[in-house]
């Protein structure tokens, strides 16, 4: 697919030189490819399970390698990036199934990689933000609470009535196309696994939600932050002014990217200290 290759080809220009971390390993998590980033030497490191963005159609471990490296270096947490199956070849619920497999694998095999499977947070950018938010709710419903959820410019509603902000990074018709690929005709979109607003937010893990002023997904993410806060969920929600959709991945294009990663890192470090 030409769009996938174009996103990959743009990594050098958008992300720039990547941060060196102590260990980067490609692993097989019971059939799902994952990449594990570890920068510290703690024998039991908390884990940030990461779902990449790209409209559930684009993106992979390579496009998000720079961001995951920086997250591992700045947070002190291990980052476990999931190479979930993508639409349209594998539409909903394939990505969720892959994340479920990885979480089970992590809980069963994490200790052999110096990971602490009892302290796991979930994170995702853009379309991966939906995967992260829904995973947090599914884990809560199963009685397996996560430590936190980090949602970066997330997709959080299947309602595709987007404002036109004149932003080339994500346009309304593009996002509508991503939804059509991920949840094609015949899939009921108004269910909690595709519309987190339909789920009870009480008892969800603490959230860090990053939004961008010029992002068509800004309003739905900020409504979700307000919904969590109203239910008593601790929330840090920050709108970065003058910037664009999914800016934290594009480390070479804006200083705000590093600032947002530092904010996420501070929140996760504070969470670790409280435990």
Catalytic residue IDs: 126
Contacts of 269 (CB under 8 A, 6+ apart): 75, 76
Q: Which of 76, 203, 194, 83 is nearest to 139 (CA)?
A: 203
Rounded to whole angstroms, how far apart are CA atoms 20 and 171?
33
Backbone torsion region of residue 30, taken as left when φ is above 0, otherwise alpha when ψ lies between -120 and 50, otherwise beta: left
Rounded to whole angstroms, how far apart are CA atoms 125 and 140?
21
Rounded to whole angstroms, how far apart are CA atoms 26 and 33?
7
Contacts of 44 (CB under 8 A, 6+ apart): 111, 114, 115, 116
The answer to whether the peptide bond before residue 88 is cis (omega within 30 degrees of 0) is yes
């Amino acid at each position: 697919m030409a769009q996938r290759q174009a996103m990959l080809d743009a990594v050098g220009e958008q992300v720039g030189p990547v941060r060196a971390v102590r260990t980067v390993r490609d692993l097989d998590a019971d059939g799902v490819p994952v990449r594990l980033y570890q920068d510290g030497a703690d024998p039991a490191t908390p884990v940030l399970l990461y779902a990449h963005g790209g409209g559930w159609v684009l993106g992979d471990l390579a496009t998000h390698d720079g961001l995951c490296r920086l997250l591992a270096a700045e947070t002190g947490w291990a980052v476990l990036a999931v190479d979930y199956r993508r639409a349209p070849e594998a539409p909903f619920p394939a990505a969720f199934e892959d994340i479920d497999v990885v979480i089970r694998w992590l809980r069963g095999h994490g200790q052999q990689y110096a990971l602490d499977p009892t302290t796991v947070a979930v994170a995702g950018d853009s379309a991966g933000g939906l995967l992260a938010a829904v995973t947090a709710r599914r884990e809560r419903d199963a009685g397996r609470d996560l430590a936190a959820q980090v949602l970066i410019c997330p997709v959080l509603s299947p309602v595709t009535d987007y404002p036109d902000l004149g932003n080339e990074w994500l346009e309304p018709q593009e996002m509508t196309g991503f939804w059509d690929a991920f949840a094609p005709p015949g899939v009921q979109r108004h269910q909690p696994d595709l519309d987190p607003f339909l789920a009870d937010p009480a008892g969800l893990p603490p959230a860090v939600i990053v939004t961008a002023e010029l992002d068509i997904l800004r309003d739905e993410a900020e409504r979700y932050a307000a919904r969590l806060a109203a239910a008593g969920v601790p929330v840090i929600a920050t709108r970065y002014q003058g910037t664009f959709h999914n800016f934290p991945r594009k480390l070479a294009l804006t200083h705000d990217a590093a600032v947002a990663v530092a904010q996420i890192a501070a929140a996760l470090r504070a969470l670790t200290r409280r435990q």
